[in-house]
Amino acid sequence: MRIIFILTVVFVIGITATIFAELDHVLTVNLDKMGPQISPTLFGIFIEDINHGVTGGLYSDLVKNSAFEYSNPIDGWSLSTYGSNVSVQVASKTSISINKINPNYLSIEISQNGEWVEISNSGYNGIPLEIGESYILSLYARTQKSTSAIYVGLGTLNGKIGAENKIKNIGPVWKKYQITLTSSITSDNGQLILKFGSVGSIYLNMISLFPSKNFHDMRLDLVNMVKALNPGFVRFPGGCFVNGNTLDNAFNWKDSIGPHIDRPTTMDFWGYDQSYGIGLYEYLLLCEHLNAQPVFVINPGMSWQGSKDVQIVPLQDMRKWVQSALDLIEFADAPATSTWGSVRASLGHPKPFNLKYIEVGNENVGQDYYERFEMFQKAINAKYPKVKLIFSAGANYTGHDFDEAWKWAKNHGVDIVDEHIYASPDWFLSNTERYNSYDTNGPKVMVGEYAAQPWNSQNTLEAALAEAAFMTGLEKNSNKVVMASYAPIFNNVDYSQWVPDLIWFNNAQVYGTPSYYVQLLFSNYRGNFILQSSISNNDYTSDDNNYKRLYYVTSYDSKNKDIIVKIVNPWPSNETCQINLNGNASLTGNGQIITLTSDEPVTSNIPFRGRMNSINTFENPTHVSPTYESITNVSTSINCTLKAYSLTILEIETNGL
Ligand code: AHR
């Protein structure tokens, strides 16, 4: 049934002014009914080294395999010799190695004048160079017989040189050398070149090149994209990356702190070499920069349970693992006078990071997990009662293991249960009320990973809107769901192995997917209290799915004194809606309307057969991105047209509710 209204108010840019209009919906917002409260940590992010998202991504070392410790020790390097008595190779003689963690080094021997060696590295699909930008080259070197000089240069693969310099006076003990190179060329396919021409032996290790503009060794363009999301928390460093294929390559935070030369290289769960370039300390600095709560995921003494050869630490040997969690909390949060707090202080951060959460396990299930979780729970609760523990509900969001996990969590005083949901857009559109029935007094929920996976494995507008619809349900139930983070945030498209992800990039460029913009809008336009509301004419059953015509959530941001209305129209035709603000309202008349949609034509009326495939690309990175319009003369009755396939947000200024 459509509703006919006589409109007394006329509006604003982007909002259709209609007299005697036929409206599809009326959304009634009750300004006097505030609550529940919305968790300040509701929308966060999840960072995992998958898709070379961190190694060759967030970690901004432009050199691949700096320490010659990859499975193939010369991976990433090209080695050339000129002369008959000259050699260059990776060696690991104990008497020469810099340390036990990075025993490999590059050994160069030149026995006659006029002979020389050239090595080069083009990073992860080319070193990106920008004219006028500077790059910090550092390396460890020592010589055997003579004082050597190293020629260093940046250039293109076809021989164009963009910067040159020399490192001189290399001595007989290992020492770190550092110089800055400023590029006179722009190229997305550059390389680092080093040449050696002095007679004698020279040994090299940890050859790194960082853009001088970085954030604690992190790629600035990626950090800025993350910052714009304004996340309430960061879940890191995995994912299955934490579990490890075996316990040998499970993430070990103690290996990840201190100088890079003291950090080992391991095989990433996702099948490539990773060097702990971004370790616990850098992640904590990132969280601080983002003003986000760190949520570290610690291995519970079990490797990835998807493997038939899962390794489980015997209960009697678990002390070391539990102690590692206690030490981690001490490192992150104890005063600088404590053992691990002093290590943090020595790295440059005497102030604690204010750690409030720790997750024990990722997608773990079953009795073995419960027993180990309980050991962490007892020890952490006793020593750090303010730290809340997050418990895994497994890899599935339904089924026997999932139900058992919840039963166990309820009976064992678990603070927060982590659910992971990867499903079709249809599932998300049909399950927006999933959390309505959860118990307010039970453990809280973290949806630690979720994403709509469309048929074409892309980050489409279709998927993004299905996620947006689901997020309206998360926000409405934020007294139960206290945290939610999307699937892995990064996808280096040259090494992609898992889609969907929020931020796609290559060595030189980056863009946000439609899902990125949904996250950005929900996170930045989120009140701190739900305003109760209802909508007319909203049921929509199709293909046995209980869809809604529109998905919405209304809230109040008491800091900015804004009413925030978010409405998702995931269908192929425009819907008209009158928004009535009922109750004690004192509006300023100003506001903003934000729309996320695509301008591709709607070609069909079958749900999701229109412009569902709209995506962003390097060529058109903001094809699907929000538009922002100021609005004036806003009154308590607002008519708007919700475009086909859109997320619309109205931010309505008040003088205070
Ligand atoms: O995000 C990719 C993987 O999906 C994560 O490592 C794991 O937790 C989930 O199964």
**pLDDT tens, residue by residue, 48-58:** 999 999 999 99
Please give the pLDDT value at position 16.
42
Spatial separation of the C-alpha atoms in residues 276 and 572, rounded to whole Å: 46
248 Cα–ligand 1 center, Å: 19
Pocket test for ligand 1, best of 47, 240, 453 (most atoms within 8 A of CB): 240
Phi-psi region at 317: left, alpha or beta (left = phi > 0; alpha = psi -120 to 50): alpha
- Residue 6 pLDDT > 70: no
Reported pTM? 0.95
Cβ 48 under 6 angstroms from ligand 1: yes
Most distant pair of Cα atoms in the chain: their distance = 95
Please give the pLDDT value at position 146.
64
Q: What is the mean pLDDT of residues 363-387?
A: 98
Spatial separation of the C-alpha atoms in residues 636 and 652, rounded to whole Å: 10
404 is catalytic: no
Does the N-terminal peptide bond of residue 294 adopt cis geometry, omega within 30 degrees of 0? no
| pLDDT, averaged across the chain | 94
484 Cα–ligand 1 center, Å: 14
More confident residue, 146 or 575: 575
Structure tokens belonging to residue 442: 């039970």
- Residue 509 pLDDT > 60: yes
Q: What is the mean pLDDT of residues 471-486?
A: 98
Q: What is the mean pLDDT of residues 174-180?
A: 97
Question: Distance from first CA to last CA of the chain, Å, rounded?
Answer: 33
Alpha-helical regions (H) of 598-653: none
pLDDT digits (tens, 9 = 90+) for 522-566: 999 999 999 999 999 999 877 778 899 999 999 999 999 999 999
Strand order in the sheet with 510-512: 490-492, 503-505, 510-512
Please give the pLDDT value at position 3.
39
Q: What is the mean pLDDT of residues 494-506?
A: 97
402 and 396 Cβ atoms separated by less than 8 Å: yes
Cα-to-chain-centroid distance, residue 498: 13
**Residue length of the chain:** 657
Please give the pLDDT value at position 7.
34
Please give the pLDDT value at position 220.
98
416 and 445 Cβ atoms separated by less than 8 Å: yes
Please give the pLDDT value at position 9.
34
Rg (CA), the chain: 28
Q: What residue's CA is closest to ligand 1, atom 7?
A: 239
Spatial separation of the C-alpha atoms in residues 57 and 270, rounded to whole Å: 14
Q: What residue's CA is closest to ligand 1, atom 4?
A: 239
239 Cα–ligand 1 center, Å: 5
Spatial separation of the C-alpha atoms in residues 293 and 390, rounded to whole Å: 14
Cβ 487 under 6 angstroms from ligand 1: yes
Helix 319-333 / helix 280-290 crossing angle, nearest 10 deg:
40
The region of weakest confidence among 82-86, 345-349, 509-513 is 82-86
Q: What is the mean pLDDT of residues 107-131?
A: 96
Q: What is the mean pLDDT of residues 115-121?
A: 97
Please give the pLDDT value at position 158.
87
Q: What is the mean pLDDT of residues 626-643?
A: 97
Cβ 240 under 6 angstroms from ligand 1: yes
Q: What residue's CA is closest to ligand 1, atom 9?
A: 239
- Residue 607 pLDDT > 90: no
Q: What residue's CA is closest to ligand 1, atom 5?
A: 239
Please give the pLDDT value at position 29.
98
Q: What is the mean pLDDT of residues 246-258?
A: 97
More confident residue, 430 or 610: 430
Cβ 393 under 6 angstroms from ligand 1: no
Please give the pLDDT value at position 19.
44
Pocket test for ligand 1, best of 51, 418, 498, 499 (most atoms within 8 A of CB): 498
- Residue 610 pLDDT > 50: yes
Per residue in 130-144, is it b (16+ CB within 10 Å) or e — as a string? beebebebbbbbbbe
Confidence band of 604 (pLDDT split at 50, 70, 90):
low
Question: Which of 359, 363, 419, 651 is flagged as catalytic?
Answer: 363
Closest to 466 in 3D by CA, of 478, 481, 451: 451
The string of DSSP codes covering 58-126 is IB---SSSTTS-SSSTTTTEEEEEESSSEEEEEE--TTT-S-SSS--EEEEEE-STT-EEEEEE-TTTS
